């Protein structure tokens, strides 16, 4: 009984460890009709974010126009690295607009 409990605890601890490592190194935003999920994501400077489009056609476009994707069709991904801390707002040119309207999101980059 005691051994079983210890093994279960160890297994859970391992899973939590793996989950936390994944969330740090593979920040992901899922694109669907018509939203970014999560809408707000916080990462550390130097991390990459991958947007994965599950359905429809969308763009990932910076509010300040400093970067954009072309139209991403279903199944396409886009990865961008964020080196400097700051707040990076973005939107889909087809279904959203600047300043967080409709289909939009934000990446918060911490030092």
Residues that bind Cu ion (CB under 5 A): 34, 58, 92, 94-95, 103
Of 110, 90, 109, 106, nearest to 98 by C-alpha is 90
* Min separation Cβ 82 and Cu ion, Å: 21
Nearer to Cu ion by C-beta: 76 or 95? 95
Decide if 109 contacts 44 (C-beta within 8 A).
yes
Instruction: Tell the smallest beta-carbon distance from residue 50 to Cu ion (Å).
Output: 17
Dihedral angle of Cα 39, 72, 110, 46, to the nearest 10 degrees: 160
Provide, rounded to whole angstroms, the least separation between the CB of residue 34 and Cu ion: 5
CB-wise, 93 or 108, nearer to Cu ion?
93
Nearest residue (CB) to Cu ion, 83 versus 99: 99
Q: Identify the bridge partners of residue 101 per DSSP, sorted by sequence position.
A: 97
For the bound state, the minimum distance from the C-beta of residue 15 to Cu ion, rounded and expressed in Å, comes to 34
89 or 94, CB closer to Cu ion? 94
Buried b (16+ CB within 10 A) or exposed e, 83-97: eeeeebbbbbeebbe
């Amino acid at each position: 009984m005691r051994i079983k409990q210890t093994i279960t605890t160890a297994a859970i601890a391992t899973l939590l460890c793996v989950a936390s490592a994944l969330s740090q190194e593979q920040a992901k935003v899922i694109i669907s009709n018509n939203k970014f999920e999560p809408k707000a994501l916080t990462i550390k400077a130097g991390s990459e974010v991958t947007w994965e489009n599950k359905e429809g056609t969308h763009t990932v476009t910076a509010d300040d126009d400093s970067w954009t994707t072309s139209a991403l069709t279903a199944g396409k991904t886009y990865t961008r690295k964020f080196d400097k801390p700051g707040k990076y707002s973005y939107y889909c040119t087809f279904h959203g607009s600047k300043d967080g309207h409709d289909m939009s999101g934000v990446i918060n980059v911490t030092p």
